Structure 1
């Protein structure tokens, strides 16, 4: 006797299901952004939402932050296996070595039940400008994870619909703005509750069994689409090496080595030869490295490829433990999530440019230009933002100017919002003309942003591409490196210092590389 016939939905049915799953995540994000209190979440939209199947495999996501989404997709299976889930539960965590990225990114996971059966999980991750670091903005120049803020191991915050108020109060009581932090956490919980309701409605419409069959079919479709795209990479080994500026403690030119190996068994990205984990906080937990790799290969896939586990798991990764790209606890990791991830993208793209000439653009700015500032005392405040720069040019296009790129997908903080909430004045916000690399197609230009401090404050900068410029391709010139200046004095790529009222901080972000 033959077994049961394999369920094969029509392309239309599968497409509708995939779009509805992604729309569910978009709606979660829309709610989170509307009701959050802090500017970094409310105005810059520094958050991401996703849906996972019962095994913790990515099923759908919103078009939010690649480093959030890829790392959640890589680590969620381990997280969901740690709990005996009940309806109404929510788990919170930020530990980079237990499913997180860096401490400011706080993740909430909630199970979805239908007719008494576990049917999937919704999750969101948001960047909090204050997570308990002694340094305002919680993005300090550090040597260990404990210096970067409060470490939250996966913890059941809501049990069967009942919030653990004492635990939440204890956490928020350690933060600088208890009211804003509590509001942001409430927004994340609300987003998950909405996601649960929407998935329950979808299950009610399709039925439990049909939804499970569609989820399996979607994963299979994503895997097949990924394999078709990967099959276009000629067999061979493609190497690329680059160096990061420094780790903030005097260690310069930190090597990042990549080998993309395409053979009959598929594609593997090998980081053998990359520097060991460093004293500073450029170190990456493995999920962050996986997110950067997955992002690059997802960009090679057709637009209709679902962003699901089946598609993202098609590329193998070899990242030796104890290295920059797979650090061991308790390594400091604040900049690994935001800076090293960007440079991993550059390195993988550099290798693929050899295999797929004409399909890969020149390097974009290669940094998020992280600024964290604030003060402690009677009128304490915390502020954090990342800054846009130039995109790399391609074979038939110029790079875009003044845009975020690759692993970040946030908005800028509007000048009006910044000046209303914080004791600063923006004196210049403009495109850094001529910073893009020249070529047949020129790289995009970076930006200039000047901050006049109206009160004494503490400033932290975590940036890259201040010494090593974004590379061009096929004879195109490199983009200009960035600059961090305080009253005209060069601060280097990473610093932490006290600033006085009246001082002027000027950030010039890198341009993208030229092409041809």
Structure 2
């Protein structure tokens, strides 16, 4: 630990502006209103992902939804991607800076400006002001990642000069004003993207989602009244804050640093890794996530919007580690109360707080590394809660080409699955998106049905998982055969420094992109590419990182090692070398005497 004074940090927690009277709420009514808030956010998300056209929203559930007060304080959020939910308060603050005082019933606001609260520009945000008895009392809001926003390249872009080159920016635009739809403005937006039909469907789904939230919250007000509902919401926010602060106080005060991490490159300057430095400062019941020492901003889109992406990551990491639902008996809702104890700081001009107008389209691999590093920093003092290094990237790949009509593009964005590191009492989860992403896999049938690509392979990687008392998870490997010439864009990170083991566990395994593997045309691609062309007949293999192990492998239950060998995760030689477990594979039993002898010899050495 290093004793450092923390710099001034920034929090996403909002300020209260009361236009209602605080009243006592009995416990039963409090529970009922809390349940209603929780349910309406989930229902909003269901509407969005069921109605959306783009694969990322519809299949991967890359979305967020919730109800917020007039200053953007979060009253409730959906069970979906933490990044999308956690960024909506910043969207609202960005919109309020321009529109506060102008809202009318029937307004619908579209926003995606990454320097005014948006998580990044492809995440369209829809916000609808909620009125009660003629007074503006809150917002219903949602976000989702659309297929294309009209930038330099289809779907995903890396090597672009600035934020305008990423695509069309919508800064607090009323696409409905007092109930009147601005058809010309909406048409202008759709005329400037490559996937107008998909974006039109996504936009309507986002509007329907927010309108449902507006309606459900109004129904709650009709039943209980503004004073009771808002007083109950205040109690829930205070309760969530109190529960998180209790857990923070259990951590000894101090400064905890993660090992320095490195991202592969910036998508243009090859062979130059980018530094990720994370320090967690605990001071009583307050937390500061300090990114001082991280890389300077880069001349590509591989920068991170601070308010819309860095702050939600800090909050989500601390809340997830300390209030894990599996380990917490009490229900603790996610709301503004969880934002209050957590602040984040990143120097201006760094990749985590770039100067305008630097591009910041591709930011997820960086923030997942921040989440991962927060885990690793706290692992020594929270061995029962923290996890070993995870894949901690987001392997988003955009496949695209000119549509048969010659007037638009087909664009398909898939999420490939990495894995979690091991944790106390549990092996790492295999083949699953990790940390801030929480997105689902894209089924191969979806792409094969609609586009000229065919899946050759989709399974767990064949390499053994990272050894540990609780082993690391295994990443996925997916192989595509291109049936037509296809553009490829990627913002992934192969983890050139593999996921770290924790408390004696071994490191995980890096990922890789390989074109035409096992042939005389084999070519290793960079993890971040902009408009790479895969010719018809080319094969693309995508290997995702496998997570690190947790704890001393020689402390692993020998029966668990035997099970892993039986499941073909390991060989008998792996078991002997990495775990000190001697197996009889004829009888499928553990040679307990030989195992004790081998482990004792290792301990003596």
The two structures share one fold, judged by TM-score above 0.5: yes
Distance in 2 of aligned mates of 1:274 and 1:15 = 43
Inter-partner Cα distance in structure 2 for 1:233 and 1:360:
13
**1:189 partnered with 2:182:** no
Q: Which segment drifts farther, 86-95 or 277-286? A: 277-286
Contact 1:394 1:441 in 2 (8 A): yes
TM score, norm. by length of structure 2:
0.82
* Structure 2 residue matching 1:246: 3-state secondary structure: coil
Answering whether residue 283 of structure 2 is matched by residue 263 of structure 1, we say yes
- Mapped partners of 1:15, 1:234: distance in 2: 33
Q: Which residue is equivalent to 2:529?
A: 495
Answer yes or no: is the 8 Å Cα contact 2:249–2:285 preserved in 1.
Answer: no
Q: Quick check: 1:324 aligned with 2:346?
A: no
CA contact under 8 A between 2:62 and 2:84: conserved in structure 1? no
Q: Give the distance between the partners of 1:463 and 1:388, measured in 2 at CA.
A: 11
Moved more, 138-147 or 156-165: 138-147
TM-score, normalised with respect to structure 1: 0.95
Taking the aligned partners of 2:372 and 2:483, their CA distance within structure 1 comes to 37
In structure 2, stretches of 5+ residues that fail to align are 1-20, 326-330, 518-522, 552-605
Map Cα deviations across residues 147-202 of structure 1 (whole Å, 9 max, x no partner).
Answer: 22111111111111111100000110112232222111111111111111111100
The corresponding residue for 1:428 is 457
- The answer to whether structure 1 residue 359 and structure 2 residue 407 are counterparts is no
Q: Is contact 2:239–2:337 with CA below 8 Å preserved after alignment?
A: yes
Match of 1:15 among 21, 26, 31: 31
Aligned-residue RMSD, C-alpha: 1.8
Partner of 1:285: 305
The structure-2 alpha-carbon separation of the partners of 1:285 and 1:358, relative to structure 1 and needing over 3 Å to count, comes to: same
Matches within 5 A, 1:330-345: 330-336=357-363, 338-345=364-371
Spell out the pairing of 1:59-78 with structure 2 (5 A cutoff). 59-78=75-94
SS at match of 1:60: strand
- Measure, in 2, the Cα distance between the counterparts of 1:505 and 1:411: 21
SS in 2 for 1:76: helix
User: 1:203: how far off?
Assistant: 0.4
> How far apart, in 1, do the equivalents of 2:324 and 2:421 lie?
21
Q: Tell me what 1:471 maps to.
A: 500
| 2:115 pairs with 1:97 | yes
TM-superposed CA distance for 1:394, in Å, is 0.7
- Return 5+ residue gaps in structure 1 as ranges: none
Structure 1 stretch displaced more, 27-36 or 88-97: 27-36
Instruction: Mark the CA change 1:52 to 1:480 in structure 2 (over 3 Å): closer, same or farther.
Output: same
Per-residue CA deviation, residues 100-122 of structure 1 (Å, 9 max, x unaligned), is 12121100000111211222111
Who is 2:53 aligned against?
37
Does the 8 Å CA contact 2:150/2:167 hold for their aligned counterparts? yes
* Pair 1:508-2:535 in alignment: no
CA positional deviation for 1:265: 6.3
Cα deviation code 1:96-149 (max 9, x no counterpart) = 001112121100000111211222111110101111123221334334222221
Give runs of aligned pairs for residues 28-427 of structure 1, distance below 5 A.
28-83=44-99, 84-240=102-258, 241-250=260-269, 252-264=272-284, 266-287=286-307, 288-299=309-320, 300-301=322-323, 303=325, 304-336=331-363, 338-376=364-402, 378=406, 380-427=409-456
Deviations 1:284-337 (A, max 9, x none): 11121111111111111264222111212211222221111111211121221x
Residues 28 and 191 of structure 1 are in contact (CA less than 8 Å); yes or no, is this contact kept in structure 2?
yes
Local SS of the residue matching 2:546: coil
SS at match of 1:355: coil
Alpha-carbon contact 2:510-2:545 (below 8 Å) kept: yes
C-alpha distance 263-401 of structure 1, shift in aligned 2 (>3 A): same
- In the TM superposition, residue 95 of structure 1 has moved relative to its aligned partner by 1.0
SS in 2 for 1:335: coil
Q: Secondary structure at the match of 2:128?
A: strand
Larger Rg: 2
In 2, the alpha carbon distance for the partners of 1:138 and 1:311 equals: 32
Q: C-alpha offsets along residues 62-118 of structure 1, whole Å, 9 cap, x if unaligned?
A: 111111112223443342353211111111011100111212110000011121122
Deviates more, 1:497-506 or 1:462-471: 462-471
Aligned match of 1:450:
479
Separation in 2, partners of 1:302, 1:140: 35
C-alpha distance in structure 2 between counterparts of 1:372 and 1:149, whole Å: 15
**Higher mean Cα deviation, 271-280 or 498-507?**
271-280
CA gap 1:291/1:366 in 2 versus in 1, 3 angstroms: same
3-state SS of 2:466 partner: coil
SS class of match (2:116)? coil
Deviates more, 1:261-270 or 1:469-478: 261-270
- Listed one character per residue, the Cα deviations across residues 190-217 of structure 1 (whole Å, up to 9, x for unaligned) are 1111111111100001101111212222
- Report the Cα offset of residue 6 of structure 1: 6.5
The CA distance in 1 between the partners of 2:499 and 2:313, in whole Å, is 17
